[in-house]
Structure 1
């Protein structure tokens, strides 16, 4: 049986004022092409299919189109709830989607056997048994007790999650015995494991509780399909425990990653092979930095980045400026460098340490030597603001100064 493992789609993400609709639509189109070309039997999404619990209508529409397209291709779909997903939102259409060959597990079930699913091949024969475990919230598996220390709570949660995995795995083994078929067992999960490398766009799922789940606590499944970490990777160097990663970069720190989905081949003997399929870049992102606060050195980097964009699909830029100058007109200067190039500046960051050095360099000045307008302008220089907002703040401050001067007159 061939399974396509993917996760963390975050349909409906609003990224620094930009919609990801076109990227997600292009990705789903590409995914369906791979499903056909690679003769995939089932698609498994290991959590965070949506970015929020109330996804916009276009995100729901893309989700529905995927279900219909896979049903038409006679390909099974398994969707697990993630920490960004709303269990209620995913669960509301669960019965309807089941009629279209899609299984949805939005949250932890009351009985472990309810999370054991049979995945079928394209020809309708059984192909694998899945321990379908979504994102686990502490309240799903643990009752809080008064007087527990933070360490006790963390250990208790880790043990409770491990016990849940073992219970579902035992239910899967019982189903395999009842079927009397040598089917491989696949487990899923949406959590952070020990040693996993995350990125800035990953929201921690266990705040003050479980930081990372030990690899040794997983059951001996033939393959463990994980989600939540956006960087594709093996866990603990083990071939059978993997994060597929997100299909598109969800933050600028992911821009340099080669995104992928995983083709997982299993048979009666267990895991046969895992083949990464590189996902094309549907929207170029770049981070540009200056090392000495010299904006002139950005000119070459900006020109080079422009070569990756087009008028229809400009490169989204994150610019980080380091230096000892205030550069109160930083936004305007960078926009002048960009000009008519196929680039869009989504974020400008100023190195805070250098801003402090600039203040130290002028420490000999006293407030008596500065006007209120000088103080305000220098404070604004430490922030990165859009030109309209900057102008609005300056105008409001001038009005406030004028009003105070009139009162003193």
Structure 2
């Protein structure tokens, strides 16, 4: 049996104010083509299908089209909810979907698998929707953290799988021990380290398909994250996009292959002075990419985004990242003030303090000198 493991579609998420629906549609169409080309039997979507609990109409349309495409390609599809999804909204359309597409959002169904068959017999797929501990304490006494609820859920899976005696797969959306998250993207699950789920929680199944982390990661040969199919942050721009193609043989886990997905528009971070970013030919090849520009001028420049967009139409973020050019003499601000011999040196000491070592430029020193001379003339005639 061939299983395609994907996750974290985040349908409806914007990228620095730009819609990603069209780009994601193209990527998911490529995913459907892979299912057809590789004769995939089962597609797993491990949570965060939507980016919001209140997705717009276009997000529902894209999801419907993607699920229809996967089903038409001949695959059984199992979808679970994540922490970004509203389980109620994602589950609303589950009854309207065609046979072979299963949307799992109810914790009460965790011990009941979706069963698919190949020439070697049945494979039981246990979908675990995102579990909020505070909402489950009544039904599952004693649970307080993600580690608690995942341990309880996997106990239900193992108990049922033991009675069935066949190959099994589980799907969950969580932050597991040993992963490297993308800053500012994976949220709401890890809090102070208490919600990290240990790898031992996932024992007992042939393959564990995880979602929540936006970059592919292998925690063990049978426990993996597929990551998101689209880049949603410059911090993850270096991470490949794709899905895991997992084979189950008669005895369980077989070969696993990474299937890359197309990147609609590359992400790059360019660092230089603003003038260099605007004119240097070494940056010309990035004109059609998403650009995060970090300009290193000592002082903030006027209207940098407008100026950069003229050269980089897809410039999405501008950061002022000055590089100190003057060596700090390690004196405190008070010591600098006390050692100032005149008002000009006093102003330079202040600028050096607030700029972390970068004092007045030549032009600034000239302006300060002119103002001090004007003040002296006014005081002399007073």
Do the two structures share a fold, i.e. TM-score over 0.5? yes
By how many angstroms is 1:163 displaced?
Answer: 2.2
Task: Say whether residues 1:100 and 2:84 are aligned partners.
Answer: no
Match of 1:307 in 2: 285
| Alpha-carbon distance in structure 1 between the residues aligned to 2:284 and 2:89 | 40
Counterpart selection for 1:128 from 106, 113, 123 = 123
Task: After superposition, give the CA deviation of every residue in 1:338-362 in whole Å (9 maximum; x if it has no partner).
Answer: 46445322111224896xx99x7x9
Distance 1:66 1:344, change over 3 A: closer
Task: After superposition, give the CA deviation of every residue in 1:105-159 in whole Å (9 maximum; x if it has no partner).
Answer: 12422x5433x221345x9x95411121121111244359xxx9xxx955xx523
Task: Say whether residues 1:221 and 2:194 are aligned partners.
Answer: no
Q: Which runs of 4+ in 1 moved over 4 A?
A: 302-306, 362-366
Counterpart selection for 1:118 from 115, 119, 124 = 115
Task: Say whether residues 1:199 and 2:197 are aligned partners.
Answer: no
CA contact (8 A) 2:47 2:79 kept: yes
1:170-249 to structure 2, matched below 5 A, reads 170-174=159-163, 176-177=164-165, 183-200=166-183, 201-208=185-192, 210-235=194-219, 238-249=220-231
Match of 2:70 in 1: 70
TM-score by length of 1: 0.73
Task: After superposition, give the CA deviation of every residue in 1:151-187 in whole Å (9 maximum; x if it has no partner).
Answer: x955xx523421221112211332x24xxxxx32111
By how many angstroms is 1:289 displaced?
Answer: 2.2
1:248-287 to structure 2, matched below 5 A, reads 248-287=230-269
Q: Structure 2 regions of 5+ residues with no counterpart?
A: 348-353, 356-382
Task: After superposition, give the CA deviation of every residue in 1:46-95 in whole Å (9 maximum; x if it has no partner).
Answer: 00111101112111111111222223232111101000110011111112
| Alpha-carbon distance in structure 2 between the residues aligned to 1:295 and 1:341 | 12
Q: Rg: which structure is higher?
A: 2
Distance 1:353 1:203, change over 3 A: farther
Match of 1:38 in 2: 38
Task: After superposition, give the CA deviation of every residue in 1:277-328 in whole Å (9 maximum; x if it has no partner).
Answer: 11111122211223xxx3344357x75454255xxxx3221122345x3224
TM-score by length of 2: 0.78
CA contact (8 A) 2:4 2:244 kept: yes
| Alpha-carbon distance in structure 1 between the residues aligned to 2:295 and 2:138 | 48
CA contact (8 A) 1:108 1:140 kept: no
Match of 2:375 in 1: none
Q: How many residues of Structure 1 are paired with residues of Structure 2 in the alignment?
A: 338
Task: Say whether residues 1:165 and 2:154 are aligned partners.
Answer: yes
CA contact (8 A) 1:133 1:189 kept: yes
